[in-house]
Structure 1
Amino acid sequence: MLNHKAAVSLLAADGLAISCDLHGMAGNPSLVFTHGFGQTRLAWQASAATLAEHGFLCLCADARGHGASDWHPQGAYSIDQFINDLELVAGFAGPSAVLVGASFGGLVGLLAQARRPGLFRALVLVDITPRWETAGVERILAFMRAHPDGFASLDQAAASIAAYLPHRRETRSPQRLQSLLVQRDDGRYRWHWDPALLERIAENGERHQAALIEAARQIRIPVLLLSGSDSDVVSQATIDEFLDLVPQARHVVVPRATHMVAGDRNDLFTDAVLSFVRTLPQGRN
Protein backbone atom coordinates (compact mmCIF):
# COMPACT_ATOMS: atom_id res chain seq x y z
CA MET A 1 0.00 0.00 0.00
CA LEU A 2 1.36 3.41 -0.97
CA ASN A 3 1.87 6.17 1.59
CA HIS A 4 0.00 9.20 0.26
CA LYS A 5 1.22 12.39 1.93
CA ALA A 6 -0.47 15.79 1.94
CA ALA A 7 -0.07 19.04 3.84
CA VAL A 8 -3.04 20.60 5.64
CA SER A 9 -3.41 23.92 7.46
CA LEU A 10 -6.14 24.28 10.10
CA LEU A 11 -7.30 27.62 11.48
CA ALA A 12 -7.47 27.82 15.28
CA ALA A 13 -10.15 29.83 17.08
CA ASP A 14 -7.78 32.77 17.62
CA GLY A 15 -6.70 32.82 13.98
CA LEU A 16 -3.38 30.97 14.23
CA ALA A 17 -2.66 28.39 11.55
CA ILE A 18 -1.90 24.83 12.72
CA SER A 19 0.24 22.96 10.20
CA CYS A 20 -0.30 19.22 9.70
CA ASP A 21 0.89 16.39 7.50
CA LEU A 22 -1.46 13.62 6.44
CA HIS A 23 -0.02 10.19 5.69
CA GLY A 24 -2.27 7.52 4.20
CA MET A 25 -5.66 7.27 2.57
CA ALA A 26 -8.86 9.05 3.57
CA GLY A 27 -11.38 6.67 5.09
CA ASN A 28 -8.79 4.58 6.92
CA PRO A 29 -8.77 4.48 10.75
CA SER A 30 -7.17 7.69 12.03
CA LEU A 31 -4.17 8.23 14.28
CA VAL A 32 -3.43 11.75 15.55
CA PHE A 33 0.22 12.36 16.51
CA THR A 34 1.19 15.17 18.88
CA HIS A 35 4.87 15.84 19.53
CA GLY A 36 6.78 16.80 22.64
CA PHE A 37 7.75 20.27 23.80
CA GLY A 38 10.26 21.83 21.42
CA GLN A 39 9.76 19.16 18.72
CA THR A 40 7.84 19.27 15.45
CA ARG A 41 5.54 16.98 13.48
CA LEU A 42 8.61 15.60 11.70
CA ALA A 43 9.45 13.58 14.82
CA TRP A 44 6.70 11.18 13.67
CA GLN A 45 7.29 10.96 9.94
CA ALA A 46 8.99 7.53 9.88
CA SER A 47 6.31 5.95 12.10
CA ALA A 48 3.49 7.67 10.23
CA ALA A 49 4.78 6.43 6.88
CA THR A 50 4.98 2.85 8.16
CA LEU A 51 1.55 2.93 9.82
CA ALA A 52 0.03 4.42 6.67
CA GLU A 53 1.32 1.39 4.77
CA HIS A 54 -0.55 -0.78 7.29
CA GLY A 55 -3.87 0.91 6.50
CA PHE A 56 -4.05 3.90 8.86
CA LEU A 57 -4.53 7.59 8.17
CA CYS A 58 -1.90 9.43 10.24
CA LEU A 59 -2.29 13.11 11.03
CA CYS A 60 0.88 14.69 12.42
CA ALA A 61 0.41 18.23 13.72
CA ASP A 62 2.83 20.99 14.66
CA ALA A 63 1.69 22.52 17.94
CA ARG A 64 1.30 26.28 17.92
CA GLY A 65 4.65 27.97 18.40
CA HIS A 66 6.42 24.97 16.84
CA GLY A 67 7.54 24.01 13.36
CA ALA A 68 5.43 25.40 10.52
CA SER A 69 2.50 26.36 12.75
CA ASP A 70 2.04 30.02 13.63
CA TRP A 71 3.68 31.57 16.66
CA HIS A 72 1.50 33.70 18.91
CA PRO A 73 2.34 37.31 18.00
CA GLN A 74 2.54 38.38 21.66
CA GLY A 75 4.01 35.11 22.91
CA ALA A 76 0.89 34.65 25.07
CA TYR A 77 0.58 30.86 25.24
CA SER A 78 -1.67 28.86 27.58
CA ILE A 79 -2.47 25.20 28.12
CA ASP A 80 -6.09 25.86 27.12
CA GLN A 81 -4.91 27.01 23.69
CA PHE A 82 -3.10 23.71 23.14
CA ILE A 83 -6.18 21.76 24.26
CA ASN A 84 -8.40 23.75 21.89
CA ASP A 85 -5.96 23.17 19.03
CA LEU A 86 -5.95 19.43 19.70
CA GLU A 87 -9.75 19.38 19.65
CA LEU A 88 -9.57 21.13 16.27
CA VAL A 89 -7.11 18.55 14.91
CA ALA A 90 -9.18 15.66 16.30
CA GLY A 91 -12.29 17.06 14.65
CA PHE A 92 -10.50 17.14 11.31
CA ALA A 93 -9.27 13.56 11.78
CA GLY A 94 -12.86 12.43 12.29
CA PRO A 95 -14.60 10.24 14.85
CA SER A 96 -12.85 7.25 16.40
CA ALA A 97 -9.34 8.66 16.10
CA VAL A 98 -6.56 7.37 18.37
CA LEU A 99 -4.17 9.87 19.92
CA VAL A 100 -0.43 9.17 20.01
CA GLY A 101 1.08 11.85 22.23
CA ALA A 102 4.69 12.20 23.34
CA SER A 103 5.63 14.03 26.53
CA PHE A 104 3.91 17.44 26.52
CA GLY A 105 1.68 16.32 23.64
CA GLY A 106 0.52 13.36 25.71
CA LEU A 107 -0.31 15.58 28.69
CA VAL A 108 -2.39 17.87 26.48
CA GLY A 109 -4.15 14.75 25.19
CA LEU A 110 -5.01 13.63 28.72
CA LEU A 111 -6.53 17.02 29.53
CA ALA A 112 -8.43 17.19 26.24
CA GLN A 113 -9.87 13.69 26.63
CA ALA A 114 -10.99 14.42 30.20
CA ARG A 115 -12.70 17.62 29.03
CA ARG A 116 -14.36 15.89 26.07
CA PRO A 117 -14.62 12.15 26.81
CA GLY A 118 -15.65 11.31 23.24
CA LEU A 119 -12.71 13.06 21.61
CA PHE A 120 -10.56 9.93 21.08
CA ARG A 121 -11.29 6.22 21.26
CA ALA A 122 -7.87 5.35 22.69
CA LEU A 123 -4.68 7.02 23.88
CA VAL A 124 -1.02 6.12 23.40
CA LEU A 125 1.11 8.11 25.85
CA VAL A 126 4.80 8.14 25.03
CA ASP A 127 7.10 8.38 28.06
CA ILE A 128 4.91 10.69 30.08
CA THR A 129 2.81 10.40 33.22
CA PRO A 130 0.80 13.05 35.11
CA ARG A 131 3.61 13.26 37.67
CA TRP A 132 7.14 13.25 36.28
CA GLU A 133 10.72 13.27 37.48
CA THR A 134 11.75 16.91 37.87
CA ALA A 135 15.44 16.27 37.22
CA GLY A 136 14.72 14.72 33.82
CA VAL A 137 12.51 17.59 32.72
CA GLU A 138 15.05 20.13 33.94
CA ARG A 139 17.74 18.42 31.85
CA ILE A 140 15.58 18.89 28.75
CA LEU A 141 14.79 22.51 29.56
CA ALA A 142 18.44 23.27 30.24
CA PHE A 143 19.29 22.11 26.73
CA MET A 144 16.47 24.24 25.29
CA ARG A 145 17.71 27.31 27.18
CA ALA A 146 21.37 26.73 26.36
CA HIS A 147 21.58 28.63 23.07
CA PRO A 148 19.33 31.71 23.25
CA ASP A 149 21.28 33.36 20.43
CA GLY A 150 21.16 30.29 18.21
CA PHE A 151 24.03 28.75 16.30
CA ALA A 152 26.51 30.22 13.88
CA SER A 153 26.27 27.17 11.62
CA LEU A 154 24.42 23.89 11.17
CA ASP A 155 27.61 22.05 12.12
CA GLN A 156 27.59 23.80 15.49
CA ALA A 157 23.96 22.79 16.04
CA ALA A 158 24.75 19.19 15.09
CA ALA A 159 27.58 19.10 17.65
CA SER A 160 25.25 20.43 20.35
CA ILE A 161 22.65 17.74 19.66
CA ALA A 162 25.30 15.01 19.61
CA ALA A 163 26.47 16.11 23.06
CA TYR A 164 22.87 16.10 24.32
CA LEU A 165 22.12 12.67 22.86
CA PRO A 166 25.39 10.76 23.28
CA HIS A 167 23.61 7.37 23.07
CA ARG A 168 22.59 7.98 19.46
CA ARG A 169 24.97 6.11 17.18
CA GLU A 170 24.21 8.29 14.19
CA THR A 171 24.92 12.00 14.43
CA ARG A 172 22.41 14.17 12.59
CA SER A 173 23.95 15.65 9.48
CA PRO A 174 23.73 19.42 9.04
CA GLN A 175 21.42 18.83 6.08
CA ARG A 176 18.93 16.87 8.21
CA LEU A 177 18.97 19.64 10.80
CA GLN A 178 17.57 22.18 8.35
CA SER A 179 14.06 20.95 9.14
CA LEU A 180 14.57 21.66 12.87
CA LEU A 181 16.19 25.07 12.58
CA VAL A 182 15.32 28.33 10.91
CA GLN A 183 17.89 30.85 9.69
CA ARG A 184 17.10 34.38 10.87
CA ASP A 185 18.00 37.69 9.25
CA ASP A 186 21.24 37.84 11.23
CA GLY A 187 22.36 34.57 9.60
CA ARG A 188 22.19 32.53 12.81
CA TYR A 189 20.19 29.33 13.12
CA ARG A 190 17.58 29.05 15.83
CA TRP A 191 15.28 26.23 16.87
CA HIS A 192 11.95 25.95 15.09
CA TRP A 193 9.96 26.89 18.21
CA ASP A 194 9.06 30.13 19.95
CA PRO A 195 11.37 30.93 22.91
CA ALA A 196 8.35 32.50 24.67
CA LEU A 197 7.07 28.96 25.25
CA LEU A 198 9.75 28.40 27.86
CA GLU A 199 8.46 31.18 30.08
CA ARG A 200 4.74 30.75 29.43
CA ILE A 201 4.39 26.96 29.37
CA ALA A 202 7.49 25.14 30.63
CA GLU A 203 8.33 27.11 33.77
CA ASN A 204 6.80 25.68 36.95
CA GLY A 205 5.06 22.90 35.05
CA GLU A 206 4.41 21.08 38.31
CA ARG A 207 1.51 23.46 38.99
CA HIS A 208 -0.51 21.46 36.44
CA GLN A 209 0.07 18.08 38.05
CA ALA A 210 -3.07 18.08 40.23
CA ALA A 211 -5.24 18.75 37.15
CA LEU A 212 -3.40 16.06 35.19
CA ILE A 213 -3.86 13.49 37.94
CA GLU A 214 -7.58 14.27 38.09
CA ALA A 215 -7.79 14.05 34.28
CA ALA A 216 -6.15 10.61 34.36
CA ARG A 217 -8.77 9.42 36.87
CA GLN A 218 -11.49 10.33 34.38
CA ILE A 219 -10.08 8.36 31.44
CA ARG A 220 -12.28 5.37 30.52
CA ILE A 221 -10.97 4.48 27.07
CA PRO A 222 -8.12 2.05 26.29
CA VAL A 223 -4.66 3.46 27.04
CA LEU A 224 -1.16 2.32 26.16
CA LEU A 225 1.75 3.81 28.09
CA LEU A 226 5.08 3.41 26.30
CA SER A 227 8.16 4.22 28.36
CA GLY A 228 11.85 4.17 27.56
CA SER A 229 13.89 1.77 29.68
CA ASP A 230 16.52 4.50 30.17
CA SER A 231 14.14 7.45 30.59
CA ASP A 232 14.86 10.00 33.29
CA VAL A 233 11.45 11.67 32.89
CA VAL A 234 9.27 8.79 34.05
CA SER A 235 10.17 6.28 36.75
CA GLN A 236 8.72 3.12 38.20
CA ALA A 237 7.05 5.24 40.87
CA THR A 238 5.34 7.60 38.40
CA ILE A 239 4.36 4.66 36.18
CA ASP A 240 2.86 2.73 39.10
CA GLU A 241 0.88 5.79 40.15
CA PHE A 242 -0.47 6.20 36.62
CA LEU A 243 -1.48 2.54 36.36
CA ASP A 244 -3.37 2.91 39.63
CA LEU A 245 -5.17 5.96 38.26
CA VAL A 246 -5.97 4.29 34.92
CA PRO A 247 -6.38 0.58 35.72
CA GLN A 248 -7.31 -0.37 32.14
CA ALA A 249 -4.00 1.00 30.84
CA ARG A 250 -1.33 -1.28 29.41
CA HIS A 251 2.35 -0.55 29.90
CA VAL A 252 5.15 -1.47 27.52
CA VAL A 253 8.82 -0.71 28.14
CA VAL A 254 10.90 0.00 25.04
CA PRO A 255 14.42 -1.32 25.67
CA ARG A 256 17.49 0.88 25.18
CA ALA A 257 15.34 3.98 24.76
CA THR A 258 15.48 7.27 26.63
CA HIS A 259 12.68 9.83 26.87
CA MET A 260 13.01 10.16 23.08
CA VAL A 261 11.41 6.77 22.50
CA ALA A 262 10.32 7.21 18.88
CA GLY A 263 13.69 8.68 17.92
CA ASP A 264 15.78 6.12 19.81
CA ARG A 265 13.98 2.91 18.82
CA ASN A 266 11.58 3.83 16.04
CA ASP A 267 11.07 0.26 14.88
CA LEU A 268 10.05 -1.00 18.33
CA PHE A 269 7.97 2.09 18.99
CA THR A 270 6.04 1.72 15.74
CA ASP A 271 5.51 -2.01 16.28
CA ALA A 272 4.10 -1.34 19.76
CA VAL A 273 1.66 1.27 18.45
CA LEU A 274 0.58 -1.00 15.62
CA SER A 275 0.03 -3.96 17.95
CA PHE A 276 -2.08 -1.83 20.29
CA VAL A 277 -4.32 -0.18 17.70
CA ARG A 278 -4.98 -3.52 16.03
CA THR A 279 -6.56 -4.75 19.27
CA LEU A 280 -9.08 -1.89 19.39
CA PRO A 281 -12.70 -2.24 18.29
CA GLN A 282 -13.38 -0.55 14.97
CA GLY A 283 -16.02 1.82 16.30
CA ARG A 284 -15.98 4.41 19.02
CA ASN A 285 -15.65 3.01 22.55
Structure 2
Amino acid sequence: MNTEVAGPGGVRIALRVEGAENSRPIVFVHGWAQSADAWSAQLADPALSGRFRLVAMDLRGHGASGVPAAGYDDPRQWAGDLAAVLDFAGPDAILVGWSYGGLVITDYLRVHGTARLSGIVLVGAVTEIGRGREGGRTGPVMRAALPAALSDDAEVAIPALVEFARAQASARVPGAYAQAMLGRSLSVPPAVRGALFRRDVGSAEVLAAVDVPVLVVHGTADQVVDPAAAEYSAGKIPGAVLRWFVDAGHLPFVEEPGEFTALLRQFSGNTAEEQE
Protein backbone atom coordinates (compact mmCIF):
# COMPACT_ATOMS: atom_id res chain seq x y z
CA MET A 1 0.00 0.00 0.00
CA ASN A 2 1.18 3.51 -0.80
CA THR A 3 0.02 6.41 1.32
CA GLU A 4 1.31 9.66 2.78
CA VAL A 5 1.43 11.79 5.91
CA ALA A 6 2.09 15.49 6.47
CA GLY A 7 5.38 16.61 7.98
CA PRO A 8 6.18 20.08 9.37
CA GLY A 9 4.77 22.83 7.19
CA GLY A 10 2.47 20.33 5.51
CA VAL A 11 5.28 18.71 3.52
CA ARG A 12 4.02 15.48 1.95
CA ILE A 13 5.90 12.42 3.22
CA ALA A 14 5.23 9.37 1.04
CA LEU A 15 5.08 5.90 2.60
CA ARG A 16 5.18 2.28 1.47
CA VAL A 17 3.31 0.04 3.90
CA GLU A 18 3.12 -3.74 4.29
CA GLY A 19 1.71 -5.94 7.06
CA ALA A 20 -1.25 -5.83 9.42
CA GLU A 21 -2.29 -2.48 10.87
CA ASN A 22 -2.40 -3.75 14.46
CA SER A 23 1.12 -5.22 14.38
CA ARG A 24 4.21 -3.73 16.01
CA PRO A 25 5.74 -1.30 13.47
CA ILE A 26 9.17 -1.33 11.90
CA VAL A 27 9.89 2.03 10.26
CA PHE A 28 12.57 2.14 7.56
CA VAL A 29 14.52 5.34 6.82
CA HIS A 30 16.63 5.34 3.64
CA GLY A 31 19.85 7.14 2.80
CA TRP A 32 21.02 10.14 0.80
CA ALA A 33 19.53 10.44 -2.69
CA GLN A 34 17.53 7.20 -2.42
CA SER A 35 13.93 6.28 -1.53
CA ALA A 36 11.74 3.78 0.30
CA ASP A 37 12.29 1.40 -2.62
CA ALA A 38 15.76 0.72 -1.22
CA TRP A 39 14.04 -1.62 1.27
CA SER A 40 12.15 -3.68 -1.34
CA ALA A 41 13.58 -7.02 -0.17
CA GLN A 42 12.54 -6.40 3.42
CA LEU A 43 9.08 -5.11 2.46
CA ALA A 44 8.53 -8.25 0.39
CA ASP A 45 9.59 -10.67 3.13
CA PRO A 46 6.45 -12.52 4.33
CA ALA A 47 8.14 -13.50 7.59
CA LEU A 48 8.53 -9.80 8.40
CA SER A 49 5.18 -8.54 7.08
CA GLY A 50 3.40 -11.49 8.70
CA ARG A 51 4.44 -10.36 12.17
CA PHE A 52 5.21 -6.64 11.87
CA ARG A 53 3.77 -3.57 10.22
CA LEU A 54 6.46 -2.38 7.79
CA VAL A 55 6.49 1.33 6.99
CA ALA A 56 9.15 2.75 4.65
CA MET A 57 9.26 6.51 4.20
CA ASP A 58 10.56 8.71 1.42
CA LEU A 59 12.57 11.50 3.01
CA ARG A 60 11.52 15.04 2.15
CA GLY A 61 12.91 15.96 -1.25
CA HIS A 62 13.21 12.28 -2.23
CA GLY A 63 11.05 9.74 -4.02
CA ALA A 64 7.36 10.64 -4.02
CA SER A 65 7.61 13.05 -1.07
CA GLY A 66 7.24 16.79 -1.33
CA VAL A 67 10.22 18.98 -2.19
CA PRO A 68 10.23 22.05 0.06
CA ALA A 69 12.61 24.88 -0.81
CA ALA A 70 14.27 24.92 2.61
CA GLY A 71 14.58 23.13 5.95
CA TYR A 72 17.08 20.45 5.02
CA ASP A 73 19.62 21.82 7.51
CA ASP A 74 17.17 21.90 10.43
CA PRO A 75 17.11 18.84 12.74
CA ARG A 76 13.60 19.83 13.87
CA GLN A 77 12.24 19.38 10.34
CA TRP A 78 13.68 15.87 10.02
CA ALA A 79 12.48 15.05 13.54
CA GLY A 80 9.01 16.32 12.70
CA ASP A 81 8.84 14.25 9.52
CA LEU A 82 9.76 11.07 11.37
CA ALA A 83 7.35 11.92 14.22
CA ALA A 84 4.53 12.17 11.68
CA VAL A 85 5.46 8.77 10.29
CA LEU A 86 5.47 7.30 13.80
CA ASP A 87 2.03 8.82 14.43
CA PHE A 88 0.83 6.79 11.45
CA ALA A 89 2.81 3.63 12.19
CA GLY A 90 1.86 3.21 15.82
CA PRO A 91 3.54 2.91 19.23
CA ASP A 92 6.66 0.97 20.28
CA ALA A 93 8.21 1.20 16.84
CA ILE A 94 11.58 -0.11 15.77
CA LEU A 95 13.47 2.42 13.65
CA VAL A 96 15.82 1.15 10.95
CA GLY A 97 18.08 3.80 9.43
CA TRP A 98 20.50 3.27 6.56
CA SER A 99 23.33 5.72 5.81
CA TYR A 100 21.90 9.28 6.08
CA GLY A 101 18.81 7.69 7.61
CA GLY A 102 20.86 7.17 10.76
CA LEU A 103 21.33 10.94 11.00
CA VAL A 104 17.58 11.47 10.56
CA ILE A 105 16.94 9.04 13.42
CA THR A 106 19.48 10.92 15.54
CA ASP A 107 17.65 14.16 14.74
CA TYR A 108 14.44 12.55 15.95
CA LEU A 109 16.12 11.40 19.18
CA ARG A 110 17.55 14.89 19.70
CA VAL A 111 14.07 16.41 19.72
CA HIS A 112 11.77 13.62 20.95
CA GLY A 113 13.90 11.05 22.76
CA THR A 114 13.08 7.34 22.86
CA ALA A 115 9.67 7.31 24.57
CA ARG A 116 7.79 5.99 21.51
CA LEU A 117 10.43 3.48 20.45
CA SER A 118 11.22 -0.12 21.32
CA GLY A 119 14.48 -0.39 19.40
CA ILE A 120 16.82 1.09 16.79
CA VAL A 121 18.84 -0.50 13.99
CA LEU A 122 21.60 1.54 12.34
CA VAL A 123 22.76 0.13 8.98
CA GLY A 124 25.88 1.55 7.35
CA ALA A 125 24.78 4.69 9.12
CA VAL A 126 26.11 8.10 10.06
CA THR A 127 24.90 9.73 13.25
CA GLU A 128 26.79 13.01 12.84
CA ILE A 129 27.80 15.24 9.96
CA GLY A 130 30.46 17.88 9.47
CA ARG A 131 34.21 18.16 9.18
CA GLY A 132 35.98 16.07 11.79
CA ARG A 133 32.81 14.42 13.13
CA GLU A 134 33.71 10.82 13.97
CA GLY A 135 30.13 9.61 13.70
CA GLY A 136 29.96 10.90 10.15
CA ARG A 137 33.25 9.67 8.76
CA THR A 138 32.92 8.84 5.07
CA GLY A 139 34.88 6.46 2.88
CA PRO A 140 36.72 6.96 -0.41
CA VAL A 141 33.69 6.29 -2.62
CA MET A 142 31.67 9.05 -0.97
CA ARG A 143 34.59 11.47 -0.98
CA ALA A 144 35.25 10.79 -4.67
CA ALA A 145 31.62 11.58 -5.54
CA LEU A 146 31.68 15.02 -3.93
CA PRO A 147 31.20 17.78 -4.85
CA ALA A 148 30.47 16.71 -8.43
CA ALA A 149 27.39 14.65 -7.46
CA LEU A 150 25.83 17.79 -5.99
CA SER A 151 26.18 19.91 -9.13
CA ASP A 152 23.22 21.25 -11.06
CA ASP A 153 25.26 20.80 -14.24
CA ALA A 154 24.15 17.47 -15.70
CA GLU A 155 27.48 16.92 -17.44
CA VAL A 156 29.20 17.12 -14.05
CA ALA A 157 26.65 15.38 -11.80
CA ILE A 158 25.57 12.44 -13.94
CA PRO A 159 29.02 10.83 -14.39
CA ALA A 160 29.69 11.26 -10.66
CA LEU A 161 26.37 9.63 -9.71
CA VAL A 162 26.94 6.79 -12.20
CA GLU A 163 30.31 6.05 -10.64
CA PHE A 164 28.90 6.41 -7.12
CA ALA A 165 26.18 3.84 -7.83
CA ARG A 166 28.69 1.50 -9.48
CA ALA A 167 31.32 1.78 -6.77
CA GLN A 168 29.06 1.17 -3.78
CA ALA A 169 27.37 -1.87 -5.32
CA SER A 170 29.45 -5.02 -4.88
CA ALA A 171 29.17 -8.07 -7.12
CA ARG A 172 26.47 -9.33 -4.76
CA VAL A 173 24.14 -6.44 -5.64
CA PRO A 174 21.83 -7.31 -8.56
CA GLY A 175 22.44 -5.20 -11.63
CA ALA A 176 18.80 -4.10 -11.76
CA TYR A 177 19.02 -2.84 -8.18
CA ALA A 178 22.22 -0.90 -8.91
CA GLN A 179 20.57 0.74 -11.91
CA ALA A 180 17.49 1.57 -9.84
CA MET A 181 19.78 3.21 -7.27
CA LEU A 182 21.13 5.45 -10.01
CA GLY A 183 17.63 6.35 -11.13
CA ARG A 184 16.61 7.23 -7.59
CA SER A 185 19.69 9.45 -7.18
CA LEU A 186 18.99 11.29 -10.42
CA SER A 187 15.37 11.88 -9.37
CA VAL A 188 16.46 13.89 -6.32
CA PRO A 189 16.88 17.58 -7.29
CA PRO A 190 20.49 18.80 -7.19
CA ALA A 191 19.56 21.49 -4.67
CA VAL A 192 18.30 18.80 -2.28
CA ARG A 193 21.31 16.56 -2.84
CA GLY A 194 23.54 19.46 -1.86
CA ALA A 195 21.44 20.78 1.02
CA LEU A 196 21.72 17.52 2.95
CA PHE A 197 25.46 18.06 3.26
CA ARG A 198 25.28 21.66 4.47
CA ARG A 199 25.06 20.68 8.13
CA ASP A 200 27.40 20.49 11.10
CA VAL A 201 25.89 18.33 13.82
CA GLY A 202 27.50 16.41 16.67
CA SER A 203 25.52 13.72 18.48
CA ALA A 204 27.62 12.33 21.33
CA GLU A 205 25.19 13.42 24.07
CA VAL A 206 22.17 12.26 22.06
CA LEU A 207 23.64 8.80 21.55
CA ALA A 208 24.70 8.49 25.18
CA ALA A 209 21.10 9.11 26.27
CA VAL A 210 19.59 6.27 24.21
CA ASP A 211 17.90 3.78 26.54
CA VAL A 212 16.34 1.26 24.15
CA PRO A 213 18.03 -1.73 22.48
CA VAL A 214 20.24 -0.76 19.55
CA LEU A 215 21.76 -2.93 16.84
CA VAL A 216 24.55 -1.42 14.71
CA VAL A 217 25.09 -3.23 11.39
CA HIS A 218 27.97 -2.37 9.07
CA GLY A 219 29.84 -3.96 6.19
CA THR A 220 33.55 -4.37 6.78
CA ALA A 221 34.19 -3.33 3.16
CA ASP A 222 31.92 -0.25 3.24
CA GLN A 223 33.62 2.53 1.27
CA VAL A 224 30.76 5.02 1.48
CA VAL A 225 30.47 5.30 5.28
CA ASP A 226 33.69 4.37 7.03
CA PRO A 227 33.32 1.43 9.46
CA ALA A 228 34.78 3.78 12.09
CA ALA A 229 31.40 5.55 12.12
CA ALA A 230 29.78 2.30 13.28
CA GLU A 231 32.38 1.84 15.99
CA TYR A 232 31.72 5.40 17.13
CA SER A 233 27.94 5.02 17.44
CA ALA A 234 28.20 1.56 19.02
CA GLY A 235 30.70 2.95 21.53
CA LYS A 236 28.54 5.90 22.49
CA ILE A 237 25.17 4.10 22.82
CA PRO A 238 24.85 2.19 26.11
CA GLY A 239 24.48 -1.53 25.48
CA ALA A 240 24.57 -1.27 21.68
CA VAL A 241 25.41 -4.47 19.81
CA LEU A 242 27.73 -4.13 16.80
CA ARG A 243 27.29 -6.73 14.06
CA TRP A 244 29.77 -6.79 11.18
CA PHE A 245 28.84 -8.17 7.76
CA VAL A 246 32.21 -9.49 6.62
CA ASP A 247 33.24 -8.32 3.13
CA ALA A 248 29.91 -6.53 2.61
CA GLY A 249 29.88 -2.96 1.39
CA HIS A 250 27.37 -0.16 1.96
CA LEU A 251 24.33 -2.33 1.20
CA PRO A 252 24.32 -5.32 3.58
CA PHE A 253 20.52 -5.55 3.37
CA VAL A 254 20.87 -6.07 -0.40
CA GLU A 255 24.19 -7.90 -0.52
CA GLU A 256 23.08 -10.40 2.13
CA PRO A 257 19.30 -9.96 2.23
CA GLY A 258 18.54 -13.31 3.84
CA GLU A 259 21.05 -12.87 6.64
CA PHE A 260 20.10 -9.23 7.21
CA THR A 261 16.37 -9.85 7.27
CA ALA A 262 16.79 -12.82 9.62
CA LEU A 263 18.85 -10.61 11.93
CA LEU A 264 16.18 -7.89 11.78
CA ARG A 265 13.43 -10.42 12.54
CA GLN A 266 15.38 -11.74 15.52
CA PHE A 267 16.14 -8.27 16.89
CA SER A 268 12.57 -7.06 16.38
CA GLY A 269 11.13 -10.21 17.94
CA ASN A 270 13.40 -9.92 20.98
CA THR A 271 12.51 -6.28 21.57
CA ALA A 272 8.82 -7.10 21.20
CA GLU A 273 9.13 -9.82 23.86
CA GLU A 274 10.94 -7.44 26.20
CA GLN A 275 8.07 -4.94 25.85
CA GLU A 276 5.38 -7.53 26.64
Aligned to 2:136, the other structure's residue is in SS state: coil
Q: Unpaired segments of 5 or more residues in structure 1?
A: 1-5, 183-189
* Conserved? CA contact 1:7–1:19, under 8 Å: yes
CA drift at 1:17: 0.9
CA drift at 1:148: 3.8
| 1:86 maps onto 2:109 in alignment | no
CA drift at 1:276: 0.9
CA drift at 1:158: 10
Aligned to 1:279, the other structure's residue is in SS state: helix
Aligned to 1:122, the other structure's residue is in SS state: strand
Tell me the equivalent position of 2:219. 228
Q: Between Structure 1 and Structure 2, whose CA radius of gyration is higher?
A: 1
Identical-pair percentage:
24
Out of 131, 145, 150, which is 1:145 matched to? 150
* Conserved? CA contact 1:122–1:223, under 8 Å: yes
Q: Please tell me the residue identity of whatever aligns with 2:81.
A: D
| Separation of aligned partners in 1, 2:163 and 2:173 | 14
CA drift at 1:252: 0.7
| 1:167 maps onto 2:188 in alignment | no
Q: Unpaired segments of 5 or more residues in structure 2?
A: 128-134
CA drift at 1:282: 4.2
| Separation of aligned partners in 1, 2:194 and 2:150 | 10
| Separation of aligned partners in 2, 1:10 and 1:168 | 37
Tell me the equivalent position of 1:132. 136
| Separation of aligned partners in 1, 2:237 and 2:251 | 23
Tell me the equivalent position of 2:247. 256
CA drift at 1:104: 1.1
Give the TM-score of the pair, scaled to structure 1.
Answer: 0.80
Tell me the equivalent position of 2:116. 119
Cα distance change of structure 1 residues 165 and 283 upon mapping to structure 2, 3 Å threshold: closer
CA drift at 1:253: 0.8
Tell me the equivalent position of 1:197. 192
Tell me the equivalent position of 2:58. 62
Aligned to 1:8, the other structure's residue is in SS state: strand
The Cα offsets for residues 110-166 of structure 1, whole Å up to 9 and x where unpaired, read as: 231242221311100011243132444424545733784279x9xx99965664346
* Conserved? CA contact 1:34–1:63, under 8 Å: yes
| Separation of aligned partners in 1, 2:53 and 2:221 | 31
Q: State the number of aligned residues.
A: 263
| 1:101 maps onto 2:76 in alignment | no
| Separation of aligned partners in 2, 1:201 and 1:160 | 20
| Separation of aligned partners in 1, 2:138 and 2:161 | 26
Cα distance change of structure 1 residues 179 and 167 upon mapping to structure 2, 3 Å threshold: closer
Give the TM-score of the pair, scaled to structure 2.
Answer: 0.82
| Separation of aligned partners in 2, 1:264 and 1:181 | 19
| Separation of aligned partners in 2, 1:217 and 1:270 | 27
| Separation of aligned partners in 2, 1:46 and 1:32 | 14
Q: Please tell me the residue identity of whatever aligns with 2:42.
A: S
Cα distance change of structure 1 residues 88 and 283 upon mapping to structure 2, 3 Å threshold: farther
The Cα offsets for residues 234-264 of structure 1, whole Å up to 9 and x where unpaired, read as: 334x444333321311111112211222232
Worse overlay, 191-200 or 134-143? 134-143
Out of 6, 13, 17, which is 1:18 matched to? 13
Tell me the equivalent position of 1:3. none
The Cα offsets for residues 216-247 of structure 1, whole Å up to 9 and x where unpaired, read as: 011011000001111132334x4443333213
